[in-house]
């Protein structure tokens, strides 16, 4: 509706993953480097976790684009809600198999022969599983067994798991400890910091063909940061709805009230109120516990861990990949 007025050539706040529009925070850069490192160095299992809407699928697509095409052969599974048999079949089909046998034994033999040919050609086979938190435990076990396709000291298949934070809880289960132990690199994506919101919006606005800055007031950016909690997908939804609402005004400038209205329409105001109520309840409960604690022998409260910043990820050091500088954490 508003694209023509602002001279845009495309929708600036699309909800579908677009690697070219990925806003690279330090955390995103570190995750990209970690993914590339794990694949190119044949580390076997790598895990990318993060809250819904933080850009995991977009980062995966960006990573696959950045890897040298003459070195990588990939199979990408976007919907893993499959049975064990369907999962293996889909993985093989996306690797380019045209005739997948019905027998599981024959499938595994053909897959191993394929992976050996890839290895002999000097290439790397990668299986990417998005939405991995939706994998059934039985399918997770099949994925683990695929990692047994290896040569002495070298994995024939590199497996990338990307999923919401629930996957971390899944992997903490005792029955999945063998799977968890095989993950060599763990990465996380954090929400955008409030200071990133304006730059994120400006990047998408410019990539959509705009010749002028985004029509958002500073107060509007503050409201976007609060209502979205830094989740890029929610930032997109808020900006799009607020722009549509403001467009009828002359001149169309997005103010804080437009963002608040968009948040109400999207149900985000209710979510924020529920989260605030939960926090207040937790504080009240803690206050009651402290007040009722005995004066003598009271157990001191343990300090909470400092929150992670956008640039922090569970990666042991900065990995050299795709021209990114190496930096060892001390």
CATH number of 194-268: 1.10.8.60
Please tell me the predicted confidence (pLDDT) of residue 102: 94
* pLDDT tens per residue, range 163-211: 999 999 988 888 888 888 889 999 999 999 999 999 999 999 999 999 9
CATH 3.40.50.300 spans which residues of the chain? 19-189
CA 266 to each of CA 154, 234, 312: distance values in angstroms, whole numbers, following the listed order: 49, 9, 30
Question: Does residue 251 have a cis bond before it (omega within 30 degrees)?
Answer: yes
Query: Which has more pLDDT, 1 or 78?
Result: 78
CATH superfamily of 19-189: P-loop containing nucleotide triphosphate hydrolases (3.40.50.300)
Please tell me the predicted confidence (pLDDT) of residue 270: 57
* pLDDT tens per residue, range 118-163: 999 999 999 999 999 999 989 998 998 898 888 887 889 999 999 9
Task: Determine the Cα–Cα distance for residues 321 and 101; give it in Å rounded to an integer.
Answer: 37
pLDDT exceeds 70 at position 5: yes
Please tell me the predicted confidence (pLDDT) of residue 274: 53
* pLDDT tens per residue, range 256-312: 999 999 999 999 975 555 544 444 554 444 444 444 444 444 333 333 333 334 333
* pLDDT tens per residue, range 210-242: 999 999 999 999 999 999 999 999 999 999 999
pLDDT exceeds 60 at position 320: no
Task: Determine the Cα–Cα distance for residues 157 and 143; give it in Å rounded to an integer.
Answer: 11
Q: What is the chain's mean pLDDT, rounded? A: 83
Task: Determine the Cα–Cα distance for residues 183 and 163; give it in Å rounded to an integer.
Answer: 14
CATH 1.10.8.60 spans which residues of the chain? 194-268
Query: Which has more pLDDT, 327 or 13?
Result: 13
Task: Determine the Cα–Cα distance for residues 26 and 273; give it in Å rounded to an integer.
Answer: 30
């Amino acid at each position: 509706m508003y694209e023509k007025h602002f001279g845009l050539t495309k929708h600036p706040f699309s909800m579908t993953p677009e690697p070219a529009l990925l806003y690279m925070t330090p955390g995103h850069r570190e995750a990209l480097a970690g993914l590339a490192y794990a694949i190119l160095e044949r580390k076997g299992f790598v895990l990318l976790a993060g809250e819904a809407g933080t850009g995991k699928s977009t980062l995966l697509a960006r990573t696959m684009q950045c890897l040298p095409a003459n070195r990588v052969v990939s199979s990408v599974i976007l919907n893993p809600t499959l049975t064990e048999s369907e999962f293996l079949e889909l993985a093989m089909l996306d690797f380019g198999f045209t005739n997948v046998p019905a027998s599981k034994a024959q499938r595994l033999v053909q897959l191993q022969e394929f992976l050996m040919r890839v290895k002999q050609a000097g290439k790397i086979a990668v299986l990417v599983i998005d939405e991995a938190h939706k994998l059934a435990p039985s399918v997770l076990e099949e994925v683990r067994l695929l990692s047994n396709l290896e040569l002495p000291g070298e994995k024939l298949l590199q497996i990338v798991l990307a999923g919401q934070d629930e996957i971390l809880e899944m992997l903490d289960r005792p029955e999945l400890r063998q799977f968890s132990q095989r993950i060599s690199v763990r990465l996380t994506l954090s929400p955008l910091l409030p200071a990133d919101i304006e730059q994120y919006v400006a990047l998408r606005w410019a990539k959509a063909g705009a010749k002028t800055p985004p029509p958002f007031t500073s107060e509007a950016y503050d409201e976007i940061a609060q209502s979205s909690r830094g989740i890029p997908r929610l930032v997109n939804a808020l900006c799009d709805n607020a722009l549509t609402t403001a467009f009828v005004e002359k001149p169309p400038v997005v103010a804080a009230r437009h963002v608040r209205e968009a948040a109400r329409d999207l149900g985000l105001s209710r979510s924020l109120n529920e989260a605030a109520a939960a926090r207040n309840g937790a504080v009240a409960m803690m206050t009651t516990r402290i007040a009722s604690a005995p004066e003598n022998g009271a157990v001191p409260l343990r300090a909470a861990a400092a929150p992670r910043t956008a640039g922090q990820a569970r990666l042991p050091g900065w990995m050299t990949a795709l021209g990114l500088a190496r930096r060892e954490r001390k």
